Structure 1
Amino acid sequence: MSATTEPLRVALALAAAGVPVLPLRRGKVPFGNCPSCKDGACGGRPNMKAAGPCRCPAPCHAWAAATTDPHALTSPVWAPVWREAVAVAYHPGGAGLTVVDLDDSAAVAWARETLPATRTVATTRGEHWLYRGAMPSSNAVRPGVDIKSMTQYARWLGPGTGRMAVLPAAVRALVVKEDTTPARGEVASSLPTRAAWGRSVATGCRHTERYVRTGLERGLALVRARTESGAGSQAFGVARFLAAQHTACPGPCGLTAIGEEIVTAAVSVGVPEPYARRAVANGLETAVERAA
């Protein structure tokens, strides 16, 4: 190549820093597959969700073609796409990153209220929040919010500002899919009876027993009210809120017992127990992270 195009120059710099990259064409989308890979004829790449045998040297399969190899990026088979490229994308999961894509001002406001501060990159309509750590990708995890990491690409819009934080439990919880609530009368699982929260397990709590029980009962009522859907997400929110009330206590505050009561409430309206436990554990952990 006699001259280096601007997208290729950016791509090479990112690749040198360990960030897998790929070119984007007009419309800011990946280039189409070559004839051998079109319509999945090749079986897909080994790094795709459904692993396949494809070893095509061309930039096929979008994010799965992202690479840090400068020889591949400057090879003759990639040269034509760089001449047409208008932007550069990267594979966050391949770089050990997760991008929380906030598509509008409401989503940005939600993130500022809910998620730990981290490095941010301005986009046309919102922001990208970057965290250290990879996870499964998922679109529309809530209004205006996509998670881009292991099986998606993100457009490179610059290094951003701020210090990058470790991927928090609150982001991981966004992509945990709650199973459909079973029909009325069915039981997702049966939990053994456990001791309720009380002063005996909260010897270091600075709150009165009445204060804690009142807040807990209100939270449990919110979870039990979600009889059609959303009980798992509600359990996460209740666990996070209640745990946050105890961040200034010397402890112990019996948060494990509180968590068990929330899990039981979620299971009672059809949430599978494994999901309920993950949601509650993530909620309790998130409160601790935000207080740290």
Structure 2
Amino acid sequence: MTQPVPLRRAALTLAAGRVPVLPLREGKVPFGNCPRCADNACGGRPNMKSKGPCTCPAPCHAWAAATWDTGVITSPAWAPAWREAVAVAYHPGGCGLTVVDLDNHRAIAWARASLPPTRIVLTTRGQHWIYRGAMASANAVLPGVDVKSRSQYARWLGPGTGAMAVLPEAVRALVVKEDATPARRGVASSPPRATWDRTVATGCRHTEQYVRTGLERGLARVREHAESGAGSQAFGVARFLAAQHTACPGPCGLDSIGDDITAAAVLVGVPEPYARRAVANGFQTARESAA
């Protein structure tokens, strides 16, 4: 059995830096629910699917139990878990981080070719690439690639090496899953122009020419990806254009801009529900970045 003191000491060191931590049991998985939550007696605890920490006295509900409160970490309720713990985990999203978990050499090769260098931590099978910035979590975004942030935990394997970079758009776009759909055939050779105009943007601080030029360029980028990638482009364009308006008193007609981006993605074969979701995620990411 692993001695609890070194693991708890490591957890307290992380907590001192305001990194939320939790113990992991054999198999490197979180401890089971506390008695009052066993067999779903608590109703499934909605905070597992929305914001909010776990309030159970013992480690419970996986990542939601993570805390930097030293009083909780050293409490009698957590003592049995530390006695059985085999590792320490942390909640990346809880301290404003995202971990790109690369499980094999092919995933690592992809990251080296596609992502900016950042802090790297070696794992048993691959590497963790750690970025500053939190986002939604998702498993299997690519073969051998998981994104761990707001609703997942990551095993603590040391501080790693390298300077930590800001979370890039390329990682955010990974959670917008590209549907395997072919480009539509027989579409019009002259795609419709953007419909945004000043009548829907009475509170925008930009000129109409500035907004329309940026929007047209963004729509062109989406249309250029007729074979694949249009959904990810829609996410990136929506994020970029929305970021231009975060300082405006509003309204800026973002709904109309979103409709135009969605229409451009649908034109090259992206299913409309997926296109709208990609645009909404792009807008939301821009708002969170500006907050």
Deviation of 1:193 after TM superposition, in Å, equals 2.5
Q: Kindly provide the CA deviation profile for residues 22-47 of structure 1, in whole angstroms up to 9, marking residues without a partner as x.
A: 00011111111112111332135574
Aligned pairs for 1:136-285 (under 5 A) are: 136-178=136-178, 192-193=192-193, 223-225=225-227, 231-233=230-232, 235=233, 264=264, 267-272=267-272, 273-274=275-276
* 2:13 alignment partner, SS class: helix
CA contact (8 A) 1:100 1:130 kept: yes
| Stretch deviating more after TM superposition (153-162 or 264-273) | 264-273
Separation in structure 1 between the aligned mates of residue 23 and residue 113 of structure 2, nearest angstrom: 34
1:33 maps to which residue?
Answer: 33
Separation in structure 1 between the aligned mates of residue 83 and residue 157 of structure 2, nearest angstrom: 19
2:115 maps to which residue?
Answer: 115
Separation in structure 2 between the aligned mates of residue 155 and residue 171 of structure 1, nearest angstrom: 20
Q: Does 1:16 align with 2:16?
A: yes
Separation in structure 1 between the aligned mates of residue 265 and residue 44 of structure 2, nearest angstrom: 43
How well do the aligned residues superpose, as a CA RMSD in angstroms?
3.8
CA contact (8 A) 1:44 1:61 kept: no
Deviation of 1:232 after TM superposition, in Å, equals 2.1
CA contact (8 A) 1:178 1:271 kept: no
1:106 maps to which residue?
Answer: 106
Q: 1:107 to 1:80 in 2, by over 3 A?
A: same
1:73 maps to which residue?
Answer: 73
Separation in structure 2 between the aligned mates of residue 53 and residue 134 of structure 1, nearest angstrom: 16
Separation in structure 2 between the aligned mates of residue 69 and residue 125 of structure 1, nearest angstrom: 31
Separation in structure 2 between the aligned mates of residue 238 and residue 32 of structure 1, nearest angstrom: 39
Separation in structure 2 between the aligned mates of residue 28 and residue 104 of structure 1, nearest angstrom: 19
Q: 1:15 to 1:46 in 2, by over 3 A?
A: farther
Q: 1:193 to 1:47 in 2, by over 3 A?
A: same
Number of equivalences: 230
- Aligned amino acid, residue 232 of structure 1: G
Q: Which one has a bigger Cα radius of gyration?
A: 1
Q: Kindly provide the CA deviation profile for residues 151-190 of structure 1, in whole angstroms up to 9, marking residues without a partner as x.
A: 00000000000000111111000002356859x89x9xxx
Aligned pairs for 1:46-85 (under 5 A) are: 47-50=47-50, 55-85=55-85
- Aligned amino acid, residue 96 of structure 1: G
Q: Kindly provide the CA deviation profile for residues 110-168 of structure 1, in whole angstroms up to 9, marking residues without a partner as x.
A: 00100011000001111000000100000000111000000000000000000001111
Q: 1:46 to 1:154 in 2, by over 3 A?
A: same
CA contact (8 A) 1:22 1:90 kept: yes
Separation in structure 2 between the aligned mates of residue 100 and residue 106 of structure 1, nearest angstrom: 14
TM-score, reference length from structure 1 = 0.67
2:7 maps to which residue?
Answer: 7
CA contact (8 A) 1:232 1:266 kept: no
CA contact (8 A) 1:101 1:128 kept: yes
Separation in structure 2 between the aligned mates of residue 276 and residue 41 of structure 1, nearest angstrom: 36
Separation in structure 2 between the aligned mates of residue 177 and residue 18 of structure 1, nearest angstrom: 32
Separation in structure 1 between the aligned mates of residue 236 and residue 75 of structure 2, nearest angstrom: 54
Q: 1:53 to 1:106 in 2, by over 3 A?
A: closer
Deviation of 1:7 after TM superposition, in Å, equals 0.8
Q: 1:108 to 1:76 in 2, by over 3 A?
A: same
1:213 maps to which residue?
Answer: none
2:286 maps to which residue?
Answer: none
Separation in structure 2 between the aligned mates of residue 110 and residue 17 of structure 1, nearest angstrom: 31
1:133 maps to which residue?
Answer: 133
Q: 1:53 to 1:148 in 2, by over 3 A?
A: closer
Aligned pairs for 1:78-93 (under 5 A) are: 78-93=78-93
Q: 1:104 to 1:65 in 2, by over 3 A?
A: same
CA contact (8 A) 2:93 2:149 kept: yes
